[in-house]
Every structure is written in C-alpha cells, then in structure tokens.
C-alpha cells in the first residue's frame, strides 16, 4: 500500500493500471493504421473473365433491325434522333468505307472476342473490325479533348463483376447499330457490367445520349467459350471491295 499526493491510501493495483491504460490508448491509435496497411496487402479477389469468347449465331440471335433492340427495349429517340433516322440512307453507312462499329453495336456483332486481364487494365479485343478497347483500372481520368470512335473506358471490379464506363466518343452517323440509321453524339456514354454464369460470359449494356435519346436504352447478351485453341482471325477490310455492295442498293435520293 502506498500513499497518494494528499496522503490518501492508493492500492498497488491502481498504481500499476496507469501504464496499462496508456498502452491501450496507444494501441487504439495505431490499430486503424495497422489494419489499413494490412488491408492494402490483402490480394484483391478478381473475377476470372479472361479467354476467347464466342458471340456468334450459335449463342444468340443475329443482330439486325430488332436485335439487340426489340420492341420492348428499342431506343426511344427524340425529335432530332427521329429526323436523322428519317433521312438516313444505307449507302452512306460508314461500314462501306471500312469504318469499324462502336458501342453499343460492337459488343453484339456475331463474332469472337478476347478478354485479357492485367493488374492495371482489361483488354477487349474484337474479331469484328480488328478493334481493341482498353479499360483502365488505375483510377485515371479521361484525357481532355481526346475523342475516338471507341471512346475512353475506365473500369473497376466489384464482387464478381467488372464495371466499365465509356465516354468521349466522336459523332457517328450509325453510332447505335448498323441497321436502323440511329446516330450517336459526343455526349454518348456506355455502361457495361460483365460477369460469369457457369461457363458463360454475360454482359448488360446501357447507353445514354441526350442529344438523340429520350431515355437510356439497354440490352443483355452472352458469350460462350471458344473452341479450344481458337485464335481471332484478322479482319481484312478492303475499301474498294466494301463499297461494291452500294452498287446494288436502290438509292433513297436521286
């Protein structure tokens, strides 16, 4: 037994408790930082989406005037969109000049696609038109004043899914598909969610474009694994050959 500052008895236990309390307080301060550092060291669980995937006719309906759009999910056009669609002539479609398809048509074209997953990006390579999209996972922002036919894509993993956001597209006279003559603008944004269901790769795509659409339009599609050893075939588009089809079209305007 000891005596305190005013001569009051102080137990041995209370004297020994003070450094213990101080130590506990120090641990409480250091614990969040330690847990945060430990959390950073934990490996992120990344869904396995890699491989070569078949999106051809054996997997889903061939794209056309009603695919992937149907009467229940066809893009609702505003007056500007309807006017462009009304004057559209198939002969001016960019595909006859070997211009590649873009989102949201590219993902549904009946060809193979390869997915490659790296720590800082996901590469989506399409057999159709030999297109390669890079989805950045490192948090970077779209560079200013950089607009391309495939836009600029960023992504993130959440649970068992890959979320992709794409913006900064150029104007495209057939920016929604190759069949309906619906254009898209620099305001177009495309959101995609990819996930696995068994052996299949699934995707839900949503497109917005306030310059031509009254509301977002969306569709869901799937791919199945390509045959073992399949390699994407090169897309050899010859401009002269591509334009030969126009000779057999009935012109809308003379």
- pLDDT single digits (tens) 158-179: 999 999 999 999 999 999 988 8
pLDDT of residue 116: 98
Ranges 14-18, 110-114, 232-236, most confident: 110-114
Q: Strand, helix or coil at 45? A: coil
- Quick one: DSSP state of residue 91? G
Mean pLDDT over 230-243 rounds to: 91
Q: Which residue has the tokens 């549904």?
A: 108
CA contacts within 13 A on the Cβ side of 116: 10
- CA–CA separation, 5 and 91 (whole Å): 99
pLDDT of residue 200: 98
- CA–CA separation, 94 and 89 (whole Å): 11
Global pTM? 0.81
Sorted by sequence, the CB contacts under 8 Å of residue 243 that are 6+ apart come out as 96, 97
Sign of the Cα torsion 217, 223, 229, 235 reads negative
Is the pLDDT at 181 greater than 70? The verdict is: yes
The average confidence (pLDDT) of the chain is 87
Write the CA distances from 109 to 34, 130, 204, 223, integer angstroms.
49, 12, 15, 11
Please answer whether residues 150 and 128 qualify as being in contact, where contact means their C-beta atoms are separated by less than 8 angstroms.
no
């Amino acid at each position: 037994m000891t005596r305190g500052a005013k001569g009051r008895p102080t137990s041995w236990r209370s004297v020994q408790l003070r450094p213990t309390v101080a130590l506990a307080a120090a641990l409480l301060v250091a614990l969040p930082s330690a847990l945060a550092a430990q959390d950073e060291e934990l490996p992120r669980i990344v869904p396995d989406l890699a491989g070569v995937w078949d999106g051809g006719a054996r997997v889903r309906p061939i794209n056309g005037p009603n695919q992937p759009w149907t009467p229940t999910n066809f893009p609702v056009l505003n007056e500007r969109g309807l006017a462009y669609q009304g004057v559209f002539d198939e002969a001016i479609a960019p595909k006859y000049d070997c211009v590649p398809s873009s989102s949201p048509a590219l993902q549904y074209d009946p060809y193979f696609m390869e997915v490659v997953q790296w720590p800082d990006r996901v590469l989506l390579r399409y057999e159709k038109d030999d297109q390669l999209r890079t989805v950045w996972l490192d948090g970077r922002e779209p560079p200013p004043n950089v607009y391309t036919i495939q836009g600029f894509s960023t992504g993130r993993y959440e649970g068992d899914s890959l979320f992709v956001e794409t913006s900064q597209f150029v104007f495209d006279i057939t920016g929604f598909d190759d069949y309906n003559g619906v254009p898209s603008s620099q305001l177009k944004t495309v959101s995609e969610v990819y996930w696995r269901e068994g052996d299949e790769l699934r995707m839900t795509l949503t497109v917005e474009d306030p310059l031509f659409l009254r509301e977002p339009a969306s569709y869901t599609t799937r791919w199945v694994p390509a045959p073992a050893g399949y390699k994407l075939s090169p897309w050899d588009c010859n401009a002269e050959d591509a334009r030969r089809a126009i000779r057999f079209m009935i012109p809308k305007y003379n």
